[in-house]
Amino acid sequence: MKHISFFLFFILTVSFSPLFAEEKCTYEYDSKQTAIEWTAFKFTEKTGVKGKMESFKATHTKKAKTILDSLKDLRFTVQTSSLNSSVPDRDEKIKKFFFGSVKNGKEFKGNFSQIKGTNEGSATLNLEFNKIKKSVPVQFKITGDSIEVTGTLDVLELGLKEGISRLNEECRDLHKGADGTSKLWPTVDIKITSTLTKTCS
């Protein structure tokens, strides 16, 4: 009887063990599931103007067991000509008077370092624009198969002081708030969201 019981236990264990095997999954970057959004601010009361960058490229990504491992070596470029605020006339003015105020204003380059945390945490965005390099603190949060990165840029630190002045002069009346003062803030909030492709076996 003991031999029969052991035999049955062995058969059941072998038969059902695949059901309890740990699933092995990998994550991979997908540009089609990635978005770069920005919020600029006008008026003294700091009213947000939202937009996005539609042309960007990422390299040095890889398949990995975690989202962070897949993206930690990522390098990216963003074309400033691809900005879209849903108002074509405004977009052309931003390109001409803001980004056009510097000789090297066609693209941003960057990567991330000093990544701390697992499902949420902080990192450093190493940004290059107009031959100027700046380190920007950012935060990230992972939910399911997606990651969201947020931070704030000071465009004055990227050599765009003249660009702010020229754009505000061109749009002076449009930047007047309730107090009648024309104001364009130098800070821009950024948000990067990406849903990675998850493959399990």
pLDDT in tens, 162-187: 999 999 999 999 999 999 999 999 99
pLDDT at residue number 35:
98
Is the pLDDT score of 3 beyond 80?
no
pLDDT at residue number 5:
52
For the segment 14-33, the average pLDDT, to the nearest whole number, is: 76
Is the pLDDT score of 11 beyond 60?
no
Torsion angle of alpha carbons 195, 147, 190, 132, nearest 10°?
-100
Per-residue pLDDT band for 50 (boundaries 50, 70, 90) equals: very high
pLDDT at residue number 23:
81
Query: Cα(26)–Cα(201) distance, rounded to whole angstroms?
Result: 9
Query: Cα(102)–Cα(201) distance, rounded to whole angstroms?
Result: 50
Q: What is the CATH number of the domain that holds 100?
A: 2.40.128.110
Per-residue model confidence as pLDDT tens digits over 84-137:
999 999 999 999 999 999 999 999 999 999 999 999 999 999 999 999 999 999
H or E stretch covering 126: strand 120-129
Q: Taking the model in full, what pTM does it have?
A: 0.86
For the beta sheet containing 47-53, the strands, ordered from the edge strand earlier in sequence to the opposite edge, are: 56-59, 75-79, 107-117, 120-129, 132-143, 146-154, 187-195, 34-42, 47-53, 83-84
Asked if 29 contacts 70 with a C-beta cutoff of 8 angstroms, the reply is: yes
Task: Say how many C-beta atoms besides its own lie within 10 A of residue 199's C-beta.
Answer: 11
Judged by average pLDDT, the poorest of 19-23, 123-127, 144-148 is 19-23
- What mean pLDDT, rounded, does the chain reach? 91
Closest CA to 31 of 95, 86, 76, 88: 76
Residue 85: which domain range? Answer: 2-200
Per-residue pLDDT band for 8 (boundaries 50, 70, 90) equals: very low
Question: Domains in the chain: how many in total?
Answer: 1
